[in-house]
Amino acid sequence: MNFLEAKKNGYDSVYFTFDCIGDTLLLMTALEYLYKQNNKKILMGTLYKEIVENCPYIDLLDEFNESFFDFSMFQKIKSFGINPIFITATDFIQLNGQYYPRWGKYHMLLNMCNKLGISQNILLKTKIFLNEEEKASVKKNSVEQIAIVSSGYQKYKSIPFHVAQAIVNDLSSNYRIIQIGSSDDPLLDNVIDQRGIGVRKTATILSQSRLFIGGIGGLMHLSRAVDCRSVIAFSSAEPLAMENYICNINVFAPEPRCSICGDGKEFPYLVNCKNNYSCISGIQAKDIINAAKTQLQKSELALEAEVVCSHPEKVNGIEDFIKRFGKLKG
């Protein structure tokens, strides 16, 4: 809906987050708790509209998202009586009058729920709402397949390419291997190429798969949304508590590995790594393969899920956006 329609429908706030798959998926999931708490549909803005498709408790605000949010957009939306509220799983510290991002205290989903002011128990599981055609496709095409990604949005989250290829070489004798991810990711040998097909089609593939193998990030959260078990090449650049789903098996690079960012001394988005990404670069194919075989033995079982208690620390507007990006431009 446009700004005028949102105003006519009685919306006085709109929620948004970083325009990436994981954050969008997590915010959409967190907003269900706000919907249940207030018994009122919620207005959201995002570049990834397909993620929110079919969501019964969210209306989308057209032409509003984090990527295009500036002072002129802020003025425009406020002129319609709508307050933009930026929700991020990241926390901030202030040093010498300047704010710096730091990892949140809890799981990303719980961090977002806390900032929404949610006061209830939180199930650490993401959601996406597949339509009937997508669900039918899952039932029709279910086969012995594994989904894998050969790269990642940031280097510190990426399985080294040679490791991903060694995993494919080992597992492809018994399973069909589907490569998902960005169209820019390097193509693995002996896979079915499904890179760059969009979030919803990727979600359907994950629904059809017995396992997902990849790094921390958006596809890990998407895999959890469709109840696909995962083996995660877990970078020590992020705290385990922020990204962990207890149904996953996390594999780490052997010691010595760098954990400067994971310990909160640096922030990986803001530094040039001087340690050759040892937080993940030394990860071993054999460890991921062994974890995959363990997960595959559990593929018929319901996925385990953790329930945690919220700690409300409500944000009221764009204060976290300002802390992250500084004064609004434009």
Total-model pTM = 0.96
Are the C-beta atoms of 90 and 104 separated by less than 8 Å?
yes
Give the DSSP H/E element, type plus range, for residue 58: strand 58-60
Rounded Cα gap, residues 219 and 223, in angstroms: 6
- In order along its 330 residues, the chain shows pLDDT tens digits of 999 999 999 999 999 999 999 999 999 999 999 999 999 999 999 999 999 999 999 999 998 999 999 999 999 999 999 999 999 999 999 999 899 999 999 999 999 999 999 999 999 999 999 998 888 776 545 568 999 999 877 889 999 999 999 999 999 999 999 999 999 999 999 999 999 999 999 999 999 999 999 999 999 999 999 999 999 999 999 999 999 999 999 999 999 899 999 998 889 988 888 888 999 999 999 999 999 999 999 988 999 999 999 999 999 999 999 999 999 987
Structure tokens at 232: 């995660």
Give domain 132-296's CATH superfamily. Glycogen Phosphorylase B; (3.40.50.2000)
The pLDDT assigned to 51 comes to 97
The amino acid occupying position 101 is P
Domain boundaries, the chain: 3-124+310-325, 132-296
The pLDDT assigned to 138 comes to 62
The pLDDT assigned to 140 comes to 46
The pLDDT assigned to 269 comes to 85
Rounded Cα gap, residues 323 and 73, in angstroms: 18
Are the C-beta atoms of 222 and 25 separated by less than 8 Å?
yes
